[in-house]
Structure 1
């Protein structure tokens, strides 16, 4: 709940401060912050012996989850396309 509250407060602050020139210059600092966080995340993962020794199993599980997620999305998109956009004659409207 705390993280969601912080996110909502940041969203509201950003919405009200759109026209301030300081917030227009945040793109570069946001990118630098994300790169720094990714680096620190990598260092913390690399320093965990148990995690590094199980990276094969974790990677396989992550691959299976990602593959199933993409396959499910493609299946749902094709079902939605055929249900809503295809005409009975086999051609779809532009």
Structure 2
């Protein structure tokens, strides 16, 4: 846990120290890292025999919660984006 907090704090420090300098590679690096994390999570779930065996018993409720949480996040992000774009105009 200490390593995670140290990495986050070091990132905050680097961001603070370089806030005036443009870094055009931030977005592609973040996108790649997010896709890599999702891929590795998929490998972890797919290789866990206990999780794979219990997928049928998880049922409709888990699927519904997942879909609704994703939909809610997308709608909230869209609303925030519209709000921020309205403020710029």
Give me the TM-score of the superposition, normalised by structure 2: 0.55
Once the 2 structures are TM-superposed, how far is the Cα of residue 11 of structure 1 from its aligned partner? 1.2
TM-score normalised by structure 1 residue count: 0.53
Give unpaired runs (5+ residues) of structure 2.
73-89
| Matching of residues 59-70 of structure 1 within 5 Å | 60=61, 63=65
What's the CA shift for 1:35? 0.6
Tell me, in whole angstroms, the C-alpha distance in 1 between the residues paired with 2:10 and 2:60.
35
Larger radius of gyration: 1
Aligned to 1:11: 12
2: CA distance, partners of 1:59 / 1:12: 44
CA 1:44–1:59 in structure 2 vs 1: closer, same or farther (change >3 Å)?
Answer: farther
CA distance in 2, matches of 1:44, 1:6: 23
Aligned residue number for residue 49 of structure 1: 49
Secondary structure (helix, strand or coil) at the match of 1:24 reads coil
Q: Compute the RMSD of aligned alpha carbons.
A: 2.8
CA distance in 2, matches of 1:24, 1:53: 44
Whether the 8 Å contact between 1:18 and 1:24 is mirrored in structure 2 is: no
Structure 1 gap segments, 5+ residues each: 71-94
**Structure 1 31/16 Cα, relative in aligned 2: closer, same or farther at 3 Å?**
same
